[in-house]
Amino acid sequence: MTIVIETRDLTRHFGDLVAVDHVSMQVPKGSIYGFLGPNGCGKSTTIRMLCGLLIPTEGSANVLGIDVLEDPEALKSKIGYMTQRFSLYEDLTVVENLQFMTEIYSVPRSERAPRIKAQLERFSLVDRAKQLAGTMSGGQRQRLALAAVTLHRPELLFLDEPTSAVDPESRREFWEFLFDMVDQGTTMLVTTHFMDEAERCHALAILDQGVLVADGSPKRLMADLPASVVEIESDTVRVVRETLLDLAEVIDVAQLGSRLHALVRPNVQDPSAFLDASLRQRSLQASLKLVPANLEDVFVMATLGREVDR
């Protein structure tokens, strides 16, 4: 297995604020590695260090065999970085933006026109070629941004919350583009706060206040959750939720429509029976059953339940 990104104790301070706190991770070639976490948890700061745009305060980072601290300039021709905000020129057309990016990436002149044509076809932008970027929809802009950052055929893509401003259909379409590129050997690091997108990743890191609190495939993270998950149905879900949150054995309770998901500490032998008895003592009726964990349960456990005795 070829490792494309490897960090050891990667840390970044901004004054007294520790934005990224001793993060160590490995990203294998040809995979989508996801960063999941709330706003301000250090995802974007980590990416900027891996791109050579920020100097780490401590630790090391090796990207595509290049020491980021020693030679960040050597990375530029090998990576693509798509920021959260649309960063192309709104007063230029689609083609003009792509032409400009071929110059930025120093694409050989003889290859510029063929590559632009290929990108327009690949990302369904042929009929938008002469449209001003500023008049495009969110999904169209995202396709244009992805076309632009892959013009120079990078080995590694950094995508910072790439679908945060698009509709669900555009999000699905965008991820199909990503999987096509992965099949062709591109490696990606994607930050997101959408659980369904995180579940699409081959591997996933969860950050909380700059600390990497969970790491692994979504399937393994869900299977290894150090808590029991009880699904609860009741006619009084809000009252039931508040009641359960008062129990020391309950880590968290999330409402999913008319149902609740309760995370119960692992030392409770029969969590469904325990919660049922606790509710009955307070004259509350509910239907309870043990269910497999989902990725939201993993996220809650990783960020709220770090002090639980494992």
Q: How high is the mean pLDDT of the chain?
A: 92
- Cα four-point dihedral sign 170, 171, 174, 176: negative
Interval 220-224 mean pLDDT: 94
Better-scored residue on pLDDT, 232 or 41: 232
Asked if 46 and 24 count as a contact pair (C-beta separation under 8 A), the reply is no
Cα angle vertex 74, ends 72, 79, to 5°? Answer: 90
pLDDT value of residue 169: 85
Question: Could you give the domains of the chain?
Answer: 3-217 (3.40.50.300), 228-292 (3.30.70.100)
**Whether pLDDT at 40 is above 90:** no
Asked if pLDDT for residue 38 goes beyond 90, the answer is no
Reported as a single tens digit per residue, the pLDDT across 156-196 is 999 998 887 778 888 888 899 999 999 999 999 999 888 88
The type of residue at 25 is M
Burial tier of 224 (Cβ tally within 10 Å: 0-12, 13-18, 19+): exposed
pLDDT in the model for residue 96: 97
Query: Residue 308 — pLDDT band, cuts 50, 70, 90?
Result: very low
Q: What percent of the chain has pLDDT over 70?
A: 98
8 Å CB contact between 187 and 70: no
What tens digit of pLDDT does each residue of 256-275 get?
888 999 999 999 999 999 99
Contact 205, 212 (CB under 8 A): yes
Q: What is the pLDDT of residue 305?
A: 53
Please report the pLDDT score of residue 310 as a whole number.
39
Position 309 confidence tier, pLDDT thresholds 50, 70, 90: very low
Phi-psi map region of 79: left, alpha, beta (phi>0 left; psi -120 to 50 alpha): beta
Does the pLDDT of residue 200 top 90, yes or no? yes
Write out pLDDT tens, residues 89-135. 999 999 999 999 999 999 999 999 999 999 999 999 999 999 999 99
